[in-house]
Structure 1
Amino acid sequence: MDALSFTPGLTLVNAFNEETFVFTTPESAEAAEFEVRLGPGGSGGGNAMAHIHPKTDETFTVRSGLLTVSIDGRMHELRPGETITVPRGKPHFFRNAHQGDTVAIIRFTPAQHQLRFFMNFATIAQNHPGWFGSKGEPSFLLMALTLHTFKDHFYVAGPPVWVQKMLFATLAPFARLMGYKVVVSP
Structure 2
Amino acid sequence: MNTFSFTPGMVVVNAFNRETFIFTKPEKPEYAEFEVHLEPGGSGGGNAISHVHPATDETFTVRSGRLGVSINGVMNTLESGESITVPRGAPHFFVNAHEGDTEIVVRFTPAQKQLRFFLNFSTATVTHPEWFSAKGEPPLLLMALTLHTFKDHFYVAGPPIWLQKLLFAALSPIARLRGYRILVGPHTEIG
Q: Give the alignment's Cα RMSD to 1 decimal.
A: 1.2
SS in 1 for 2:90: coil
Q: What amino acid is the match of 1:42?
A: G
- Check whether the contact 1:123–1:183 (CA below 8 A) recurs between aligned residues: no
Which sections of structure 1, spanning at least 5 residues, go unmatched? none
Q: Percent identity?
A: 69
Residue by residue over 1:27-80, the C-alpha shift from the partner in whole angstroms, topping out at 9 and shown as x without a partner, is: 000000000000010000000000000000000000000000000000000000
The TM-score normalised by the length of structure 2 is 0.94
Tell me the residue number matched to 1:23.
23
SS in 1 for 2:184: coil
SS in 2 for 1:17: coil
> What does residue range 92-171 of structure 1 map to in structure 2 within 5 Å?
92-171=92-171
- Check whether the contact 1:49–1:93 (CA below 8 A) recurs between aligned residues: yes
Q: What amino acid is the match of 2:30?
A: E
Tell me how far 1:172 sits from its aligned partner: 0.2
Tell me how far 1:134 sits from its aligned partner: 1.2
The TM-score normalised by the length of structure 1 is 0.97
Structure 2 CA distance, aligned partners of 1:96 and 1:19?
A: 9
Q: What amino acid is the match of 1:142?
A: L
Q: What amino acid is the match of 1:34?
A: F
Residue by residue over 1:108-144, the C-alpha shift from the partner in whole angstroms, topping out at 9 and shown as x without a partner, is: 0000000000000010001100111111110110000
Which sections of structure 2, spanning at least 5 residues, go unmatched? none
Q: What amino acid is the match of 1:90?
A: A
Q: What amino acid is the match of 1:35?
A: E
Structure 2 CA distance, aligned partners of 1:6 and 1:141?
A: 25
Q: Are residue 174 (structure 1) and residue 181 (structure 2) matched?
A: no
Structure 2 CA distance, aligned partners of 1:133 and 1:44?
A: 16
Q: Are residue 47 (structure 1) and residue 43 (structure 2) matched?
A: no
Structure 1 CA distance, aligned partners of 2:108 and 2:153?
A: 10
Tell me the residue number matched to 2:75.
75
Structure 2 CA distance, aligned partners of 1:140 and 1:167?
A: 10
Tell me how far 1:183 sits from its aligned partner: 2.1
Structure 1 CA distance, aligned partners of 2:150 and 2:56?
A: 13
Tell me how far 1:158 sits from its aligned partner: 1.4
SS in 1 for 2:60: strand
Q: What amino acid is the match of 1:83?
A: S
Q: What amino acid is the match of 2:31?
A: A
Query: Where does structure 1 differ by over 4 angstroms across 4 or more consecutive aligned residues?
Result: none
Matched residue pairs, number? 184
Q: What amino acid is the match of 1:85?
A: T
